[in-house]
A and B are shown apart, each in its own frame.
Chain A
Amino acid sequence: MAEATTNTRGWMRGASAPLRGALLGIVLERPGHGGDLASRLVARLGATWRIDTNDVYRLLDQLVADGLVTANEEPRRDNQRRTRVVYRPTDLTENALTAWMETLLPREPVRLGLHAKLVVARDEDAPRLVAALRDYERECLRLAQLVAPTTHEMRSWTALVMDCTRDAVWRQLQSDVDWAALTRRRINERMRTRER
């Protein structure tokens, strides 16, 4: 197993750990300024992650504080009189990424907002739940539209892993749509039974 590379492995914990790990990999592939790194991260993970550029800067600051990335002002290529902050990997970055690859990523808790509504819903909330499930189904379909389609042969490693990411999103959304449809059907059936 790769050695832990910083004083703590704290950067691998918490809700933002997957994004920090992916960002570390992006910096290791090629240094860049914040905007460049953010757009490469979005291109890789897809629009469904809804990544905020401000979040990327915050994550970069954390990686800099952990010694996994350096941040230095460098002259811009297009205008030597102006500078911008370029993020580069450090001696620790490669091992840190390897260590992250080896960590067990626990399944995230299922925290669909609709679950919370369902468990406390009263009989009279049934029509509201059906409407909420319908909206959720529509939202899943909208998210599916955000997934960039396959446009190339999957010969390169990058193309392959990006396609696997897309597949993960589609399958997750598909399963959510199935669940929403099934739940609507069950509630509708109960409403019809009660009406009789």
Chain B
Amino acid sequence: MTPLLSFANVGKRFPDGGREITVLDGVSFEVEAGVFVGLYGARRSGKSTLLRLAAGIERPDTGTVRFDGRVLSTMTGSQRGRLLRRDLAFMASGDWRPNPGESVVDHVAMSLGSEGLTVRDARRRALGALERVGVTATCGSEPAGSLSLAERTLVMLARALVHDPRVLLVDEPAVMPSLSDRNRFYVLLRELAGERNMALLVVSEEMGALQGAGVMMSISDGEVCTTEERGTVVPLPRRSAGGAERPGR
């Protein structure tokens, strides 16, 4: 079976003053549909770079990143853009950029702009996505710029989900100040992934944010360490007791 997302010997370097630093070095792993993969790494360990490569936002210097068998770096900009509006969703806390005065519903609906929907249908889908993540219709009519950090995170999740993606990439979900808000968000992420058979690739500098991950990875010095022996991430039966998920062999 073709993995949904795969990294094969991926390397990435960035200039740093007069020299180059290696951010990723020979990274290989695969993600199958419906699997939750958690990547732990300290600050500046390269985890966000890995996620941007997975989304096709950046290109690797060496190796290949494939989505559903297609090499992302050989796709045109518009093909990658289409992919990001359909099969792949990328969510990063720093990407909150609503237009001035835009309502929450419109902020979510706007991301459906190129799918040939009427404004009414786009808003209906946006409302459905917002409702699923727990944002009420009342809140939906508010200006997006007035939301709290916790509400913003939920709206960003709705914006990512409204396309019904096959893979959701989440960069640092542990940004909400309240622990209970964070826990609710982690539970919601897992529920949504389960409902939609959606793969999750979540990166965080807090291991607790990756709770429930079927596969755990860590990154340091450009190298990825994974609980899977050969760097292959496959869907496995979930353990019922205690709700934890464990990979098998």
Residue from B184, B211, B217 in contact with A147 in the complex, judged by beta carbons closer than 8 Å: B211
What are the residues of chain A within 8 A of B190 when measuring CB–CB?
A: 149
A53 contacts B by Cβ under 8 Å: no
In the assembled complex, the Cα of A7 lies from the Cα of B206 at a distance in Å of 46
Query: Which chain B residue has the least Cβ–Cβ distance from A153?
Result: B180
B42 contacts A by Cβ under 8 Å: yes
B131 contacts A by Cβ under 8 Å: no
A191 contacts B by Cβ under 8 Å: no
| Chain B at the A interface: SS class | mixed
Give the A interface residue count (CB, 8 A).
32
B133 contacts A by Cβ under 8 Å: no
What are the residues of chain B within 8 A of A146 when measuring CB–CB?
A: 244, 246
Min CB distance B184 to A, Å, is 8
In the assembled complex, the Cα of A150 lies from the Cα of B40 at a distance in Å of 18
Query: CB distance B220 to A142 under 8 Å?
Result: no
Q: A167-B208, A174-B40 are known contacts. Are A145 and B246 too (CB-CB below 8 A)?
A: yes
| Chain A at the B interface: SS class | helix
Query: CB distance A145 to B244 under 8 Å?
Result: yes
Query: CB distance B208 to A145 under 8 Å?
Result: no
B93 contacts A by Cβ under 8 Å: no
In the assembled complex, the Cα of A174 lies from the Cα of B211 at a distance in Å of 12
Residue from A149, A167, A185, A188 in contact with B243 in the complex, judged by beta carbons closer than 8 Å: A149
Q: A154-B183, A166-B208 are known contacts. Are A149 and B221 too (CB-CB below 8 A)?
A: no
Query: CB distance B180 to A154 under 8 Å?
Result: yes
In the assembled complex, the Cα of A170 lies from the Cα of B214 at a distance in Å of 15
Q: A43-B242, A177-B218 are known contacts. Are A150 and B211 too (CB-CB below 8 A)?
A: yes
Query: CB distance B244 to A178 under 8 Å?
Result: no
Q: A181-B42, A185-B220 are known contacts. Are A142 and B211 too (CB-CB below 8 A)?
A: no
Query: CB distance B186 to A150 under 8 Å?
Result: yes
In the assembled complex, the Cα of A145 lies from the Cα of B214 at a distance in Å of 7
In the assembled complex, the Cα of A150 lies from the Cα of B190 at a distance in Å of 11
Query: CB distance B220 to A147 under 8 Å?
Result: no
What are the residues of chain A within 8 A of B180 when measuring CB–CB?
A: 153-154
Please provide the chain B residues from 204 to 249 with a CB less than 8 Å away from any CB of chain A in the complex: 206-208, 210-218, 220-221, 225-227, 242-247
Query: Which chain B residue has the least Cβ–Cβ distance from A142?
Result: B227
In the assembled complex, the Cα of A43 lies from the Cα of B242 at a distance in Å of 7
Query: Which chain B residue has the least Cβ–Cβ distance from A138?
Result: B225
Instruction: Report which A residues bind B (CB closer than 8 A).
Output: 43, 46-47, 134, 137-138, 141-142, 144-151, 153-154, 163, 166-167, 170-171, 173-174, 177-178, 181-182, 184-185, 188
Instruction: Report which B residues bind A (CB closer than 8 A).
Output: 40, 42, 180, 183-184, 186-187, 190, 206-208, 210-218, 220-221, 225-227, 242-247
Give me 22 A-to-B residue pairs in the complex whose CB atoms sit less than 8 angstroms apart, sorted by A's number. Answer: A46-B242, A138-B225, A141-B218, A141-B227, A142-B216, A144-B207, A144-B216, A145-B215, A145-B247, A148-B242, A148-B244, A149-B212, A150-B186, A151-B243, A163-B183, A170-B206, A170-B211, A171-B207, A174-B207, A181-B220, A185-B221, A188-B221
Contacts beyond the supplied A153-B180, A181-B42, A182-B220: 16 A-B pairs with Cβ under 8 Å: A134-B225, A144-B207, A144-B210, A145-B213, A145-B214, A145-B227, A145-B246, A149-B187, A150-B187, A153-B184, A170-B206, A171-B207, A174-B206, A174-B207, A178-B42, A181-B218
